[in-house]
Amino acid sequence: MNALQEKYAKEIEAILAKYPAEHKRSAVMPLLYIAQRAGGYVTKQDMSEIAEILEITPTEVASIVGFYTLYHDKPEGKIRIQVCNDLPCALRGADKFLEQLCENVGIQVGETTEDGLVSIEAVMCLAGCDKAPMFQVQDENGISYHENQTVESAVELIESYRKQEKES
């Protein structure tokens, strides 16, 4: 039994019970969620352990982490701001918004602020093209969406997260 199985035995058992034994590989995403929940990212060790549980390769697990923007393979900010900048959003100013937001926060796209609180990245399609610029925030409370944003409103949101962080 590996560390994930020891720590989350009942949850993993409940997840695996939802799938026929010959299709247990389908449980990869819920198991990744469990692994990521504690530290905010999925370690290589977690990926290996999930692969072992599901009898697939670590590469297959890593490919899921690499494909989906909700899984992360390295530590980043406690708050992840993911700005959609696909073509429809770019036509509504998402690229300029992303650039100016990063300038205001003092980082480049894909980086984390010095205080470790905020990471900003570009992602494809958050299904709100008509409300761009828009982004999703991933934090300990889950995911929230922010549409029709301005740089000023986004910076205000980041400052509110900083204030909350100081108060806690």
Q: For residue range 100-111, list pLDDT tens digits in order.
A: 999 999 999 999
- Give the pair of three-digit tokens for residue 36: 């990521």
Which residue range(s) make up the domain with 159?
A: 79-167
DSSP designation for 8: T
Given a cut of 90, is residue 150 above it in pLDDT?
Answer: yes
The verdict on 156 and 83 lying in the same domain is yes
Q: For residue range 38-67, list pLDDT tens digits in order.
A: 778 999 999 999 999 999 999 999 999 999
Letter string b/e over residues 15-36, b meaning 16 or more CB atoms within 10 A of that residue's CB: bbeeeeeeebeebbebbbebbb
Backbone angles phi, psi at 87, to 5 degrees: -55, -50
Instruction: Look at residue 61 and tell me if it is in a domain.
Output: yes
Where among 28, 46, 67 does a domain terminate? 67
The verdict on 36 and 101 lying in the same domain is no
Instruction: Look at residue 73 and tell me if it is in a domain.
Output: no
Q: How far apart are CA 49 and CA 85, in angstroms?
A: 34
Domains identified in the chain, total number: 2
The verdict on 158 and 87 lying in the same domain is yes
The verdict on 143 and 106 lying in the same domain is yes
E strand or H helix that includes residue 156? helix 151-167
* pLDDT at 131 (0 to 100): 96
Where among 44, 67, 90 does a domain terminate? 67
